Amino acid sequence: EAVQERFFRPYFLQAPGDMVAYEGRLCRLDCKVSGLPTPDLTWLLNGKPVLPDGTHKMLVRETGVHSLLIDPLSQNDAGTYTCLATNKTGHNSFSLDLTVVAKEVKKAPMFLEKLQNCGVPEGYPVRLECRVVGMPPPIFYWKKDNESIPSNRERMSMHQDTTGYVCLLIQPAKKADAGWYTLSAKNEVGIVSCTARLDIYAQWHRQIPQPIRLRPGGSWYANLTSQGLDIFSAFPTTESPMLFSSPTQKIVESEEL
């Protein structure tokens, strides 16, 4: 009596879901399928067949697990993958979305704007500013006269934002703050530094001269010379006499003298 052969259409016992993978790394899509006769598998990316090449390989293990290996992964590998299993009884398939995270481009720190020499009067606030970029974002170190500035130093605060802006704020500035300031930016790729001079100016207080007061009964000349002013020595001698008119404004005698 002849034995009747049984056939089964393909059926996926194991299938991956949506995936996120990183550019430049290995990505593996695994699945397990049953069916009689043994199904043939075809991989599609956005509806187009994935052909084996230097970066794409199709493997089958003894356990029946089928794998699509992509190494290294690129942005062109992102999209919707479909695995189609086919035998003479029919076909079956599953799909998933593969997202490829862009590879981090590493760049050494670089100054877009460097520190500038500056000066402020004592008691005023001052900002030492620059702009630095790098990938990964650099770590910043401040120094004054080649000595590290701690982040908790009195009157000094350090600021930065995501655009690369970096600032050392000093408020209020004191004479002791004058000196050479250096900012260093470092990441795993490299390090850069720039230096600028900060000068602190003393605030000059202008003194208002005291008014000259005349002693009662004294002559104008006597009172002026008593204050250290000799008007005769400032004018020509009698060989070239000059005429002086009487002052139109009266000089008031001081009651304090």
Place 216 in a pLDDT band, splitting at 50, 70 and 90: low
Q: 212: pLDDT confidence band, cut at 50, 70 and 90?
A: low
Going across the sheet that includes 179-186, the strands are 118-121, 191-201, 179-186, 139-144, 147-148
**pLDDT given at position 213:** 58
Q: Are strands 27-36 and 65-70 parallel, antiparallel or unpaired?
A: antiparallel
| 109 vs 193: CA distance, rounded Å | 9
pTM: predicted TM-score of the whole model, two decimal places: 0.49
Predicted confidence (pLDDT) at residue 247 exceeds the cutoff of 70: no
What is the pLDDT confidence band of residue 46, given thresholds at 50, 70 and 90? very high
Question: Residue 251: CA atoms inside 13 Å, Cβ hemisphere, count?
Answer: 17
User: What average pLDDT does the structure give for the chain?
Assistant: 84
Residues 129, 142 contacting (CB under 8 angstroms): no
- pLDDT greater than 60 at residue 209: no
HEC sequence for the chain: CCCCCCCEEEEEEECCCCEEEECCCCEEEEEEEEEECCCEEEEEECCEECCCCCCEEEEECCCCEEEEEECCCCHHHCEEEEEEEEECCEEEEEEEEEEEECCCCCEEEEEEECCCCEEEECCCCEEEEEEEEEECCCEEEEEECCEECCCCCCCEEEEECCCCEEEEEECCCCHHHCEEEEEEEECCCCEEEEEEEEEEECCCCCCCCCCCCCCCCCCHHHHHHHCCCCCHHHCCCCCCCCCCCCCCCCCCCCCCC
Please give the CATH architecture assigned to the domain spanning 107-201.
Sandwich (2.60)
Average pLDDT on 173-178 reads 95
pLDDT at 200 over 60: yes
pLDDT single digits (tens) 102-131:
988 899 999 999 999 999 999 999 999 999
pLDDT at 248: 46
CATH 2.60.40.10 in the chain, residue ranges: 8-101, 107-201
Distance CA 8, CA 89 (A): 6
Distance CA 126, CA 120 (A): 7
Residue 197: both structure tokens together: 């001079």
- Do the Cβ atoms of 67 and 28 come closer than 8 Å? yes
Q: Take residue 201 and report the two structure tokens written for it.
A: 């100016």
pLDDT of residue 188 exceeding 50: yes
Tell me: the pLDDT tens digits for 21-36? 999 999 999 999 999 9
For the cut 50, the answer to whether the pLDDT of residue 189 exceeds it is: yes
pLDDT at 211: 56
- pLDDT tens digits for range 59-97: 998 888 999 999 999 999 999 999 999 999 999 999 999
Over residues 216-238, the mean pLDDT reads 51
Give me the CATH code for the 8-101 domain, please: 2.60.40.10
Position 215 scores a pLDDT of 54
Average pLDDT over residues 151-173: 92
Q: How does strand 118-121 pair with strand 191-201?
A: parallel
| pLDDT value at residue 62 | 83
